[in-house]
A and B are shown apart, each in its own frame.
Chain A
Amino acid sequence: MTDRVIAGHPSDREIVGRISSVPLRGRIPRYFWWVFLLFFVIALLFLFSIGWLLIEGIGTIGLEIPAAWGFMIVNTVWWIGIGHAGTLISAILVLLRQNWRNSINRFAEAMTLFAVGIAGLFPILHLGRPQYFYWLLPLPVTHMPWPNWRSPLVWDFFAIATYILVSLMFWYMGLVPDMAVLRDRAQTRGKQIVYGLLSLGWRGSAYHWSRFETSYLLVAALATPLVVSVHSVIALDFTSALIPGYHSTIFPPYFVAGALYSGFAMVFTIAVPLRQFFGFQAFITDRHLDNGAKVMLASGCFVAYGYISEAFFSWYSGDPFERYMMWNRAFGDYSWTFWVMLACNVGLLQFLWFKRVRTNPWLLFVLSLGINIGMWIERYVIVVVSLTRDFVPSMWRNVTPTWVDYSLLLGSLGMFFALMFLFLRVLPAITIFEVEELEHKVEEGKA
């Protein structure tokens, strides 16, 4: 049954039981904790590198004028992109009444939250004096200047901060009714108290549901333009600069498509092991994989179109700097990044045309890893390679990342997955009430 969004005919009792058994179970297999430990150690490396960077200053990371933006900005752009798929799944698909999203939206939203939280750290770490980052806030303090409202850095701050807050609210709102289910099911006093507090005393009143549904839909409707705006604003940081390779009008849509592309790749990176280890095959079915892969295919094609148009316009502009930028990307000192990027983002993409690939979980998993790497490298090509060759040849200089750069990137991955593991352990990974509602509609033949 590949076209069903819920496999088999689980009763409400089975749905609740299977999903809530993960957070409520007393013990879970030992290997879960071993994998968590691995990520946790890497997360500690992240904290160590941040500490090192803050104490020693940004001279420890690979920044060399003219390349004043390095790994930190690449990481920010990449992580925010990963967050975007979560919002797409939870907000845009809810508005489009795509019911298949119901079983993957909770962990996709958690993914968004953690990814954007990590993304928000990097611009602060990239500041020369990170202790003053709050100067971006228009605080009513007389001894401090106002933020420079005409600077894209302020836009970034507003866009990312809004995105984190809205994602958090949306995620928590969906959790409230499920917390009430866990509260009523919990066997131990501690869990009853914690889930009880988190549930806000939810009792499922019809009037409450009515307000809940309206608010949820409204936040979804608001998050939809927001998700498009966040990466567009980040793209505007680049387009408003004059550097060849940055100064391009294709950037906002191209960044958003790239964000969805890498974000869906990350969804698969998490969903495939998740359904395997926790036995969620009934809720995350082949249809989810197929649909998600189609979104990836569409956004990936858009990214490929972005590459073509960038290359075309740099040639068509007739501008020697623009033309040199494109030549430098393909055949310069960093040419290998360009070709790896093309191989991963455009080459691997072609496999998704086949349904057999789209419904093969582990193949999809491997493709997703490749695409995630490809998308990171794409951001590197844009951010760093463009900067190393600006207008005056006497300024040209290559940059080499240091161990701090690498450990911050690796560490952020460890942090992200460690947080995901904790989330899977303590909260229901799938929205219980939405799956019940969906199953009810499926039974009635409405969905």
Chain B
Amino acid sequence: MSAPGPERYGVLAGFETPEDLLQAAERTRQNGFVALDAFTPYPVEGLTKLLGGRKNRMPVWTFIGGAIGGLGIIGLQLYSTTINYPLNVGGRPLAAMTAFLVPGFECTVLGASLTAFFGMWIGNRLPTYYHPVFNAQSFSLADGETFYLLIGADDPRFDRSKARRLLKSLHAKSIEDVTP
């Protein structure tokens, strides 16, 4: 560290279009930066892959949630009608699987949806009301026309001036240091 200054979180650059951002992400990766993140007003296809992220695990978790919901309610129905409180209603079978399938289906959907919904919160660490990127003056989702790329300061190859020079060469319309 040369000069004592405010600690940095990273450098944030704004781009005009998603295509510019994608190109910038690719070039930044090629230059060896790894602690990258991007902020966009709407999902940009293929961005996470260019940033070096891996596929998310949401489908697996959702499947597990659905299985717990479905098997859980079927198990509960079987337990309550055959073991806990067998009740002869007009001689109908106690383990009436055809009837049990309806709550079984509904609870599968419910379990899976709850997992997908809250899994998105947990995976994304939401709600997070404070984040350093909100400190940046240029950062705003208000207009929906700026696509941001962040080079994190925790990048082993992070060098403020080098990062800024690179972003400038990629036609960023705004470049700003982000403080934590």
A-side residues, CB < 8 A to B, are: 11-13, 15-16, 138, 145-146, 148-150, 154-155, 158-159, 161-162, 165-166, 169-170, 173, 176-177, 180-181, 183-185, 196-197, 200-215, 218-219, 222-223, 225-226, 229, 233, 236, 432-434, 436-437, 440
Contact = CB atoms under 8 A, between A and B. Distances in A.
A440 B106 contact: no
A22 to B, nearest CB: 16
Contact of A218 (B42, B59, B105, B140): B59
Given A200-B121, A436-B144, A222 B85 contact: no
B131 A201 contact: yes
Nearest to A204: B39
A433 B43 CA distance: 8
Nearest to A435: B42
Interface in B91-122: 92, 96, 99-100, 102-103, 105-107, 109-110, 112-114, 116-117, 119-121
Given A181-B144, A206-B37, A225 B109 contact: yes
Given A155-B102, A166-B113, A212 B43 contact: yes
B103 A149 contact: yes
Given A185-B142, A208-B124, A215-B120, A226 B109 contact: yes
Contacts of A236: 102
B85 A146 contact: yes
Interface in B112-169: 112-114, 116-117, 119-121, 123-124, 126-131, 133-134, 140-145
B81 to A, nearest CB: 6
A159 B106 CA distance: 6
Nearest to B105: A229
A399 B116 CA distance: 47
B96 A149 contact: yes
Interface residues of B, number: 61
A95 to B, nearest CB: 14
A180 B128 CA distance: 12
B143 to A, nearest CB: 5
A204 B41 contact: yes
Contact of A184 (B58, B116, B141): B141
A176 B141 CA distance: 12
B42 A437 contact: yes
B29 to A, nearest CB: 13
Contacts of B41: 12, 16, 177, 181, 204, 433, 436
B51 interface: yes
A375 B110 CA distance: 29
Contacts of A208: 124, 126
Given A181-B41, A206-B48, A218-B113, 7 more contacts: A154-B103, A162-B109, A184-B140, A202-B141, A206-B47, A210-B56, A432-B144
Contacts of A176: 126
SS of A interface (majority): helix
Which 5 residue pairs spanning A and B have beta carbons closest together?
A184-B142, A200-B127, A215-B120, A12-B144, A206-B38
A150 B124 contact: no
B42 A433 contact: yes
A284 to B, nearest CB: 19
Contacts of A169: 113-114, 117
B112 A218 contact: yes
Contact of B39 (A155, A203, A210): A203
Contact of A212 (B44, B80, B124): B124
B3 interface: no
A204 B40 contact: yes
B77 interface: yes
Nearest to A157: B103
Contact of A211 (B58, B77, B80, B92): B58
27 contacts: A12-B143, A13-B143, A149-B100, A150-B81, A150-B96, A161-B106, A169-B114, A170-B113, A176-B126, A180-B141, A184-B140, A200-B126, A201-B130, A203-B39, A203-B133, A206-B37, A206-B38, A206-B48, A206-B51, A206-B53, A209-B44, A210-B43, A211-B119, A218-B58, A218-B113, A432-B144, A433-B144
Interface in B2-49: 18, 37-44, 47-48
B134 A149 contact: no
A210 B43 CA distance: 7
A145 to B, nearest CB: 7
Contact of B131 (A138, A196, A203, A210): A203
B124 A437 contact: no
Contacts of B130: 201
A433 B147 CA distance: 13
Given A146-B81, A149-B77, A196 B129 contact: yes
B109 to A, nearest CB: 5
A202 B126 CA distance: 8
Interface centre among B62, B116, B129, by most A CB within 10 Å? B116
Nearest to A163: B106
A161 B103 CA distance: 11
A213 B43 contact: yes
Contact of B117 (A150, A215, A226): A215
A212 B114 CA distance: 14
A145 B85 contact: yes
Given A149-B99, A206-B48, A222 B116 contact: yes
Contacts of B1: none
Interface centre among A154, A162, A202, by most B CB within 10 Å? A162
A179 B144 CA distance: 13
Contacts of B37: 205-207
Contacts of B42: 177, 209, 433-434, 436-437, 440
B47 A150 contact: no
A197 B128 CA distance: 10
A148 B89 contact: yes
